[in-house]
Amino acid sequence: MPDPTFFPEPAPLSLAEIVALTGARLATDPEPGRVVRGVASLEAAGPRDIAFIDNADYSAALELTRAGACLCPSRFLDKVPPTTAALETKEPVRAFAMVAARLYPSSLRPAPLAGEGRAANAHIDRAARLEEGVHVGPFAVVGARAEIGRGTVVGPGATIGPDVRIGRDCSIGPGATVIHALVGDRVIVHAGARIGQDGFGFVPGAQRHTKVPQVGRVIVQDDVEIGANTCIDRGSIRDTVIGEGTKIDNLVQIAHNVVIGRHCLLAAHVGISGSTTLGDFVALGGRVGIAPHLRIGDSAQIAAGSGLMHDIPAGGRWGGYPAQPAKEWMRANAALRRVSRAGAARAAEARLGDVDRAEEDQ
């Protein structure tokens, strides 16, 4: 049995078409009329694949590559083998993504897993409203008065709660849950995500902890992508909002009342505590933890593994635990290394002194 490839074999793409698509410059063309039919890494690429390089760590792989074409910045042009067409571009990763999307358009959005249409064993409430072209997988549940727009795919075992609104051309992955939520167009919710459950709200007490009712919603704007097993709690006294174009990785926790701006990037294992607000184009590295009621300005960046306990101004670069401005963090780390090295050197000198004294005693 041949190995499955999962995506249809792409139509060939000429170098001229790649230039028109990406704006790259064809710096070398060892085979006029050459086409590419796939994408691959520098090490694995063959004569009909396109690869890219943007990091000097892969220079050796570039020199040995068998790729038919390579997208690269000008500083790597002299390392491109003579058999590989060099496509010069300032943004090779972006250009590569554009080419890959043209070759494999079906990879950009999850497809129905169990055929198109509405599965006979799905439960769709009679009061729900689904436009034409909505696909509902086996054992999915669509609650009363829910509305789902044309072209949306609801995966097997997914749950859409009562009164939920989901726009057009969305994908709700297998086993995902969407309740108490309004979802825009072209939103992707990956498998196992949980959207709209009540937030973690309790008033501590000596005898018991009193649960705070969570009566808000989750608002997910257009073109958002939400990773597998991510949880987004509904608001308690205001809506939890995920802004247009924001991309959220797997296993992220977003608490109640959080507002995330447009086109933010949240890597895996990020945790955002309640009532925190992120501006537009904020980037959070993996395992960032954010305390409640903070404000993070537009285009701020927080390094992976950081613990944030203070507001950050627009454009701020912070890192560390607790997080601090990046320059202070790096200076503190450098000072700590100097102290550690000095202590190690003194310990080594002391050990040598002990050896010398022991030899003198003998």
Q: What end-to-end distance do the CA atoms of the chain give, in Å?
A: 76
- The tokens describing 215, both together, are 């009566």
Give yes or no: 256 in active site: yes
Q: Which residue of the set 135, 180, 190, 256 is catalytic?
A: 256
Please count the CA atoms within 13 angstroms of the CA of 169 that sit on its side-chain side: 7
**Pair 236, 215: CB distance under 8 Å:** yes
Catalytically annotated residues: 256
